[in-house]
């Protein structure tokens, strides 16, 4: 029995970005994400060094994994899927890292008696 979404052009896995070998577009988008989120975490390092540093490290590791995947995975479809998942993981880790930094900074301000305003 065949999968009904196998030939459906509207299915997410059948989009051109997932079928063709376009690793450059994923690496460029991942690099932009790394630059933007990395800059934010670099500016947050004086406030929360450990958590901002960990988030920045996760972003760099994710981008390095994207580069290695683009080099070593041969199948265009597998390469595109892997790069998409890695970029999504980078974005999710950036959001979680930002929430953690904000929560820790807010908790530090609340415990020191500052109103935060």
Query: 94-110: per-residue pLDDT in tens?
Result: 999 999 999 999 998 87
Q: List C-alpha distances in Å: 56 to 27, 49, 82, 94, 111.
A: 17, 10, 21, 8, 26
How many domains does the chain contain in total? 1
Q: Domain limits at 39?
A: 23-106
pTM listed for this prediction: 0.80
CA dihedral in degrees (73, 79, 84, 90; nearest 10)? 10
Residue 17 lies in a domain: no
**Rounded Cα distance, 116 and 38, in Å:** 25
Residue 7 lies in a domain: no
Residue 27 lies in a domain: yes
Query: 55-88: per-residue pLDDT in tens?
Result: 999 999 999 999 999 999 999 889 999 999 999 9
Residue 45 lies in a domain: yes
Rounded to the nearest 5 percent, the helix, strand and coil shares of the chain are 75, 0, 25
Residue 66 lies in a domain: yes
> Of 100, 93, 81, 74, which Cα lies nearest the Cα of 13?
81
Residue 6 lies in a domain: no
Residue 3 lies in a domain: no
Please give the residue that has the higher pLDDT: either 117 or 9.
9
Residue 15 lies in a domain: no
Average of per-residue pLDDT across 5-18: 66
């Amino acid at each position: 029995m065949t999968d009904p979404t196998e030939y459906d052009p509207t299915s997410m896995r059948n989009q051109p970005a997932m079928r063709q070998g376009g690793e450059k577009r994923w690496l460029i988008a991942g690099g932009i994400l790394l630059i933007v989120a990395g800059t934010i975490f670099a500016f947050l390092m004086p406030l929360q060094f450990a958590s901002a540093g960990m988030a920045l490290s996760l972003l760099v590791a994710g981008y390095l994994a994207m580069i290695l995947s683009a080099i070593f995975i041969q199948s265009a479809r597998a390469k595109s899927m892997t790069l998409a998942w890695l970029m999504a993981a980078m974005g999710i880790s950036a959001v979680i890292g930002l929430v953690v930094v904000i929560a820790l900074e807010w908790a530090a301000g609340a415990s020191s008696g500052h109103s935060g305003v």
